[in-house]
């Protein structure tokens, strides 16, 4: 019986090794491989093991890349720090997915499943990869606006802030040009990259570069001034202060 461990955290690998030895006393255990590159190189030089314990998130990426480049039929027990409710979706075939820190009873259950079946697993790696890889959201790069009879396309990089006034949404550029938008401020907020724009309050959605000053205000709130903006009383509620500071510090 040959077992391979792929894990980039040394304490976790050491603990896992001890747990595996409890269930496979006569097994030959290989590892520890700590990256995608070292694992691929190992598989290219060695026969496939009988069982693999593999962390999902390695230092150089998701471990699924290993099994995309090296075709194996070896059963794999994944270990992961992902939420246990999401893990339920990944129980395919006879392979298990253990949540860190690994509970000895969960490991025993996974091992029992492996021993009972002794099958070569066909892991649904594409399904797992799609579920675990963050989806890239597509945000608008330009806004189409009307100025009189003229229609213009404004690049997001030229936008200083958006604001709402009497149920109308406006776009203001860094050059202090104002345009009316057809969308609401809530809809606009969903269309722009949250890394570049922040919803200060009900009225303002600003870009990082539009901020002119930040001041402490009463009741743990903040007051913000924006460049080329006549409104000098733009307040951020204390509930939003933490998120605002995190946005500025990203």
Verify that 105 and 160 share a domain, yes or no.
no
Write out the residue range of the structural domain in which residue 200 sits.
142-248
Asked whether 162 and 172 are in contact (CB, 8 A), the reply is yes
Q: How does 116-127 read in b/e, with b if 16+ C-beta sit within 10 Å?
A: eeeeebebebee
Residues 120 and 164 grouped into a single domain? no
Residue 137 lies in a domain: no
Rg, C-alpha atoms of the chain:
27
Sole residue written with tokens 């894990």: 7
Domain end (from 102, 132, 162) = 132
Euclidean distance between CA atoms 48 and 30, whole angstroms: 11
Q: pLDDT tens for residues 124-157?
A: 556 666 666 666 678 999 999 988 888 999 999 9
In this structure, the number of other CB atoms found within 10 A of the CB of residue 50 comes to 17
- Our count of domains for the chain comes to 2
Do 127 and 172 fall into the same domain? no
- What's the predicted TM-score (pTM) here? 0.49
pLDDT on residue 91? 44
Reported as a pLDDT band with limits 50, 70 and 90, residue 41 is very high
**Structure confidence by residue, pLDDT tens digits, 190-220:** 999 999 999 999 999 999 999 999 999 999 9
Q: Which of 105, 132, 159 is the last residue of a domain?
A: 132
Domain finish residue from 132, 153, 176: 132
Q: Please give the mean pLDDT across all residues of the chain.
A: 86
Q: Among 1-5, 86-90, 235-239, which is the least confidently predicted range?
A: 86-90
Residue 89 has pLDDT above 50, yes or no: no
Instruction: Say yes or no: 206 and 149 in one domain.
Output: yes
Are 100 and 147 in a shared domain? no
Do 125 and 9 fall within a single domain? yes
**Same domain, yes or no: 90 and 187:** no
Q: Which residues contact 250 (CB under 8 A, 6 or more apart)?
A: 195
């Amino acid at each position: 019986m040959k077992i391979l461990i792929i894990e980039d955290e040394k304490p976790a690998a050491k603990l896992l090794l001890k747990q595996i030895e409890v269930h496979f006393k006569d097994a030959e255990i290989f590892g520890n491989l700590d990256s995608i590159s070292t694992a691929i190189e190992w598989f290219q030089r060695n026969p496939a093991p009988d069982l693999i314990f593999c962390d999902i998130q390695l230092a150089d990426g998701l471990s699924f890349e290993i099994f995309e480049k090296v075709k194996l039929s070896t059963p794999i027990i994944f270990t992961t720090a992902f939420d246990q409710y999401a893990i339920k979706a990944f129980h395919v075939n006879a392979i298990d997915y253990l949540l860190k820190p690994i509970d000895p009873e969960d490991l025993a259950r996974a091992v029992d499943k492996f021993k009972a079946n002794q099958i070569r697993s066909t892991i649904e790696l594409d399904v797992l990869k799609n579920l675990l890889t963050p989806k890239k959201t597509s945000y608008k790069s330009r806004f189409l606006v009307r100025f009189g009879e003229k229609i213009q396309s404004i690049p997001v990089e030229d936008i200083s802030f958006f604001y709402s006034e009497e149920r109308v949404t406006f776009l203001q550029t860094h050059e202090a040009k104002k345009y009316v938008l057809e969308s609401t401020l809530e809809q606009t907020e969903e269309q722009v990259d949250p890394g570049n724009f922040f919803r200060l309050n009900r009225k303002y959605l600003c870009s990082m570069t539009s901020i002119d000053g930040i001041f402490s205000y009463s009741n743990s709130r903040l007051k913000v001034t924006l460049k080329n903006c006549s409104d000098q009383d733009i307040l951020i509620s204390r509930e939003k202060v933490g998120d605002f500071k995190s946005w500025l510090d990203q």
